Amino acid sequence: MTKSKEAVIEIRDLRKVYRIGNEKVVALNKINLTIQKGEICCVLGTSGSGKSTLLNMMAGLEKPSKGTIMIKKSPIEKMNEKKLAKFRQKHIGFIFQSYNLLPALTAVENVSMPLIFRGMPKFKRQHIATKYLDMVGLKDRIRHKPTQMSGGQQQRVGIARAFVGNPEIIFADEPTGNLDTKTSIEVMHIMWKMAREKDQTIVIVTHDPEVALYADKVIHIRDGDIQSIEIRDEDDVLEKYIKPYEETYAND
Amino acid sequence: MNSLDLALMGIKNLLRRKARTILTVLGVMIGTASIVVMVSLGLGMDRAFEQQLESYGSLTLIDIYNNMMYEMSGDGSSSEGQLYLNDDAIAQIEAMDHVEFAIGFKRFDSKIYSGKYESYTNVKGVDFDKLALMGIDLSQGTMPSKEGQYEALFGFQVSQNFYDPNSRTPYMNPPQIDIFESKIELLPTSQYFEGRRPRGYVLNPTGITSEDDWNYAWDIFMDYETFEKLKADFDRKNRTNSDTQNGGSRRKEEDKNQYDEMKVSVDEVDNVQEVQQQIKDMGFEAYSLTDALENMNQTSSLIQMILGGIGGVSLFVAAIGITNTMVMSIYERTKEIGVMKVIGAQLKDIKRLFLFEAAMLGLIGGSFGIGISYGISLVINKLVSGMGGEMGYMGASILSYIPAWLALAGLGFATMIGLIAGYYPAVRATKLSALEAIRTE
């Protein structure tokens, strides 16, 4: 499989220091990282390693102390709140650990939210949202509220919501953190399939090595520094994890 | 985010927190109602006063009298600049802007007889063509015309004033005289006749003025020219009887002052003061009921402001209630706002959402408040007219009056207050850090 080598995320000399009282805590020391278009990338580390901080800064939720983050050639650390909001709306999808669905809304309404913010008329977004719910296997649950769904189902709604606007980059913050192993595999499988289909870039932050098995690139992070970057063969992932899974479930 | 989706989302959010929404709306409702009812009392006062004035006469009429100062100083030496109420003056006034017509009245002291009863009365000489324009309300009959023989319009009190001069207690039992059925004779003089009186002129009453209008209660209106002829005829026949002591000078005076008073009809109440000033500038004395109205308006607008201020305090409290509700709502929805921000909400979407919710609280509270105000207003007026009915005074008058503009203004004001009260929470919501918001577990 040939892939266009185009950098979507470029991080240079990124440093983040938190100030807690009089003490300085270095969350990220000096990060240099490039993520290519279409890559499924996993940031793996224990809690407190700084992996979440890295993700938050890539998503523009936190400002770095030093360094630059270029996403699609735009320096996002220089953007103000308003520009960031616009940027996120256009280019970024987000999957949360605790799903963060709006409890008052049904599945289809939750998935529609990013489209609502774009000002898309109802009939159109309803159609698209239903399509994405179908893709995550929840076609029969579109009118359900989050409280009427299991964790795995809620996360699948979350995934549909992240993908529905067809963003170039999707950030996932411990997407399987609240799920059991079987459901985790299910969720990872869906994310993998959807991202591959449209050549979208995913950055997953996790502490779970099993999640990292699905990634093309695994970034090991520890105490604010990148320890190693492991490049894996895509076809290997497909053969080893995706196909066997599909075969098991084809029998269901 | 388009406005319809925003509105739907806002309404959903309000419905989600029913109890708090209802309580906040209740506050706004009470605030709006108190302002509207208070102002309505002020307006009702205005209206009652206006109605009262109207019973004294039309608000668009100006009364003109000759300026007495001029007459006293102008003792014959120089009549230059001396003004008289005559047809020239009428023509001059009628040429002014906003003036519909001017009409002159000349009083003649007269006596009327009906059978053995007699009565002193004023006959007012007036041009019947113009009298028709005055729009005088009648309780019976029709307006007189120039064509008929000695046609006259009677004030409704005229028939009550007859007495029997031969009775020992002439005023004790006023006779009931139906002026349409009785023969009524007129003598154009106030002279007392010992023994036989001269022959009078039989009047032909065509109508009686309305009992609601005390302006013309004691007058008899006759056509000016007809009466002049009648009087001339009478004076010629009864030369010896007429009062000739200072006839010379008086006649001269009468020639100059064709009328005793004039009335000017103005097209609209608002223009009365302007026309009145122009007439005063000519040198006449001019009065109108709007003089009183001006004063009253000043006082009542002050009272309205005070009443409105009292009502305003409760709306102010309600506004704080809205702010409080919205701030609470931010705390509650911190996470939701953060999620919305992360998944693509623009800052202005969030601001608009909060402003919309606050404005809705104002609008809903305002509309219920207006409804309540109409109810309260109805009850107040019922109670007052009930009391007034027993006292037989100002039965139809009202105390509280809510015109459409007040209702709309109240609604608009409540919504505005909502918007203003919601501004701070809305800005605060946009400033929430998305990250902090998501972290809140």
- Domain shared by B283 and B302, yes or no: no
Contact map slice: A 137-196 vs B, CB within 8 A: 161-162, 165
Say yes or no: B321 and B253 in one domain. no
CA B428 – CA A244 distance, rounded (Å): 51
Residues of B whose CB is below 8 A from A119: 1-2, 5
Containing structural domain, residue B65? 61-288
The pair of three-digit structure tokens given for residue B62, joined into one six-digit string: 């100006």
Q: Characterise B140 by phi-psi region: left (phi > 0), alpha (psi -120 to 50), beta (else).
A: beta
Q: Is B316 exposed, middle or buried (0-12, 13-18, 19+ CB in 10 A)?
A: middle
pLDDT at A117 over 90: yes
CA distance B441 to chain A (A): 9
Residue A36 CB neighbours (<10 A): 16
Q: Is the pLDDT of residue A116 over 70?
A: yes
H or E, element range at A56: helix A51-58
ipTM: 0.90
- Spatial separation of the C-alpha atoms in residues B46 and B52, rounded to whole Å: 10
Tell whether B313 and B243 lie within a shared domain.
Answer: no
Q: B14 vs chain A: nearest CA distance in angstroms? A: 12
Judge if B8 and B72 occupy the same domain: no
In a domain, A195, yes or no: yes
Report chain A residues whose CB lies below 8 A from the CB of B343.
Answer: 88, 93-94, 113-114, 117, 161-162
Q: Is B402 helix (H, G, I), strand (E, B) or coil?
A: coil
Q: Provide, as residue numbers in chain A, all residues whose Cβ is less than 8 Å from the Cβ of B17.
A: none
Q: How far apart are CA B264 and CA B242, in angstroms?
A: 34
Got the DSSP string for B168-208? SSTTTS-----TTTS--EEES-----SSSPPP-EE-EEEEE
Amino acid identity, residue B287? Y
> For residue A228, what are its two tokens?
């190693």
Which residue among B288, B318, B345 closes a domain? Answer: B288
| Nearest CB neighbour to A89, from listed B12, B336, B346 | B346
Of B254, B269, B288, the residue at which a domain comes to its end is B288
Task: Tell if the CB–CB gap between B2 and A86 is shorter than 8 Å.
Answer: no
Asked if the C-beta of A63 comes within 8 angstroms of chain B's C-beta atoms, the answer is no
Count of domains forming chain B: 2
State yes or no: pLDDT of A200 exceeds 90.
yes
Q: How far apart are alpha carbons B219 and A70 in whole angstroms?
A: 99
Of A82, A100, A165, the CB nearest to B344: A165
Q: Which residue has the tokens 């606050």?
A: B358
- CB pair distance less than 8 Å for A117 and B342: no
Pair (B284, B301) in one structural domain: no
- B contacts of A81 (beta carbons < 8 Å): 347, 430
Which residues of chain B lie closer than 8 angstroms to A56, CB-CB? 435
* Residue A251 pLDDT class (50, 70, 90 cuts): low
Question: B15 burial class (0-12, 13-18, 19+ CB within 10 angstroms)?
Answer: exposed
**Using the 8-state DSSP alphabet, how is residue A143 labeled?**
T
The residue type at A24: K
Terminal-to-terminal C-alpha distance of chain A:
30
CB contact under 8 A, A114 and B335: no
pLDDT at B120: 84
Q: Distance between CA B335 and CA B341 in Å, rounded? A: 10
Does residue B318 sit in the same domain as residue B242?
Answer: no
Q: How confident is the model over A115-126, as a mean pLDDT?
A: 92
Give B102-156 as a DSSP string.
EEEEEEEEEEEEETTEEEEEEEEEE-HHHHGGG---EEEE----SSSTTEEEE-T
Rounded to 5°, the CA angle A37-A38-A39 comes to 95
Yes or no, beta carbons of B347 and A56 under 8 Å apart: no
- pLDDT given for residue B144 in this prediction: 82
- Residue A40: its pLDDT value, please? 92
Chain A residues whose CB is inside 8 A of the B345 CB are: 85, 89, 117
Cβ–Cβ of A61/B342 closer than 8 Å? yes
Residue A68 to residues A32, A225, B303, Cα–Cα distance (Å) = 10, 16, 66
Count Cα neighbours of B259 within 13 Å in the Cβ-side half-sphere: 25
Q: What is the pLDDT along chain B (441 residues), one digit of tens a residue?
A: 888 999 999 999 899 889 989 999 999 999 999 989 988 888 888 877 777 777 666 778 888 887 655 444 444 443 445 677 888 888 888 888 888 888 888 888 888 888 888 888 888 888 887 777 777 778 888 888 877 788 888 888 888 888 887 777 777 777 777 888 888 888 887 777 766 778 788 888 888 888 777 777 888 888 888 888 888 888 887 765 545 444 444 444 445 667 888 888 888 878 888 888 888 888 888 888 788 777 777 888 888 888 888 888 888 888 898 899 889 888 888 888 999 999 989 999 999 999 999 999 999 999 999 999 999 999 988 887 766 544 444 445 577 888 999 999 999 999 999 999 999 999 999 988 888 777 755
Are B344 and A98 a contacting pair at CB < 8 A?
Answer: no
Residue A86, chain B, CB below 8 Å: the answer is yes
CATH number at residue A167: 3.40.50.300
In a shared domain, residues B161 and B234: yes
Q: How many CB atoms lie within 10 A of CB B101?
A: 16
Determine the Cα–Cα distance for residues A52 and A54; give it in Å rounded to an integer.
Answer: 5
φ, ψ (nearest 5 deg) of residue B162: -75, 150
**In which domain, by residue range, is A228 found?**
39-60+80-250
Closest CB to B1: pick one of A100, A104, A117.
A117
- Contacts with A162 from chain B: Cβ below 8 Å: 343
In the A/B pair of chains, how many CB contacts fall below 8 A? 65
| Same structural domain, B149 and B18 | no
Q: Give pLDDT tens digits for B343-393.
A: 989 999 999 999 999 999 999 999 999 999 999 999 988 887 766 544 444
Chain B residue closest in CA terms to A160: B343
Q: Is the domain of B177 the same as that of B260?
A: yes
The DSSP result for B363-376, as a single string, is HHHHHHHHHHHHHH
pTM of the model: 0.71
Same domain, B338 and B375: yes
Nearest CA in chain A to B2: A119
Inter-chain touch A113–B1, beta carbons under 8 Å: no
Point out the residue among B5, B13, B430 whose CB comes nearest to the CB of A116.
B5
**Domain count of chain A?**
1
Cβ A119–B2 below 8 Å, yes or no?
A: yes
* Mutation to test the A interface, candidates B17, B329, B342, most A Cβ within 10 Å: B342
Residues B44 and B173 in one domain: no
Greater model confidence, A120 or B46: A120
Last residue of one domain, picked from the residues B241, B258, B288:
B288
Spatial CA neighbour of A94 closest among B440, B340, B432, B430: B340
Over residues A184-188, mean pLDDT: 89
Kindly state whether A102 is in contact with chain B, defined as any CB-CB distance less than 8 angstroms: yes
Contact B86, B305 (CB under 8 A): no
